Structure 1
């Protein structure tokens, strides 16, 4: 007669409860480390290249206006109007640019950072420089209205090291997560009946003196 699934689960839980606590934590940490390390080893490395442009006021503008337009150009850089032109120089579709390109601005400096991420270092450089070039051309087209020019401050260079996490880092993260989850599971596990409960007080039995008093009261 084969065991039912319910009975099998009960037997498994009973065996797990019989294991020492340290062994459960060690197993969870080991499994989590193996999963995290495998993820880091199987996931392709990614590289990030960054180029910079700076907003420069013309004779009819002010530095404060340049700072404000730098914030605006940082948001415009990832829009379809700019990426549509950048795809020609980058040699990739617009969707790839939308997934791979990010911008950042500073509240204190009129500068825009354009970063591109790819599994190929050279492609990351091409995408960052292409978006910067397209953004600069769009700024030049509206220079008569904004009175602010975008000037290339620094071109993107090919990164020498990946920006993605190494297998050692992902392994440590997985081991920490596995140990933490097992610890939480042990804290939330159902306790055995009577475990941790205060012992029930023993029933009081009247002694000889108490029994004599009771008979005297009668």
Structure 2
């Protein structure tokens, strides 16, 4: 009677890579493309020094998604405040008084519109108190509609999926020898205890 063939020990590795590759490819093809566009706002000192302008840039960068700024951008963006809050983010530089305002959307034109509307609203909101703060904000660079989406990238999603699957397969290979050793150790019966010799009278 022939014994059944055992699967190769290395099988989990290519199997994991294949499954991960297909999963990443499916995600990249099915997910909605997202476009990103960035507008830049600069803090210009009027009656203040450069370190002060840098400090105000950090402070204004944290209020980009605040209610006052988003409410002022609502009309120009053509989107409610809640939607803008989920599609706009800001970033500041530790070395320059610059604030980047990035809008994301399923279309390039909408992403640029979100970024520019919020940047303009931030500038207008901050300049109302310019006499007190000693700094003014100006839009240094407006966002333009990108030609290609920023995410998801089908090749990148496929590569990430294949890498994750390969890592999972490698972990299975590492765990299986330990499991086999434990099974072998459990299959070996413990040594029998010898009974004490019976004393004869």
Per the normalisation by structure 2, the TM-score is: 0.84
Question: Does residue 1:154 correspond to 2:137, yes or no?
Answer: no
Aligned to 1:31: 19
Q: How big is each residue's C-alpha offset from its partner over 1:158-178, in whole Å with a ceiling of 9 and x where there is no partner?
A: 111211132121111111111
Judge conservation of contact 2:43–2:54 (CA < 8 Å) in 1: yes
Question: Does residue 1:53 correspond to 2:41, yes or no?
Answer: yes
User: Which runs of 4 or more aligned residues in structure 1 lie more than 4 Å from their structure 2 counterparts after TM superposition?
Assistant: none
Judge conservation of contact 2:41–2:138 (CA < 8 Å) in 1: yes
Question: Does residue 1:90 correspond to 2:77, yes or no?
Answer: yes
Question: Bigger radius of gyration, 1 or 2?
Answer: 1
SS in 2 for 1:152: strand
Q: How far is the alpha carbon of 1:23 from its aligned partner?
A: 2.4
Aligned to 1:7: none
Taking the TM superposition and a 5 Å limit, the aligned residue runs for 1:65-214 are 65-189=52-176, 190-191=179-180, 193-194=183-184
- Provide structure 1 residue ranges, at least 5 long, that are not aligned to the other structure: 1-14, 196-218
Judge conservation of contact 2:10–2:173 (CA < 8 Å) in 1: no
CA distance in 2, matches of 1:152, 1:27: 52
How many residue pairs are counted as aligned between the two chains?
A: 179
Give the aligned CA root-mean-square deviation in angstroms: 1.7
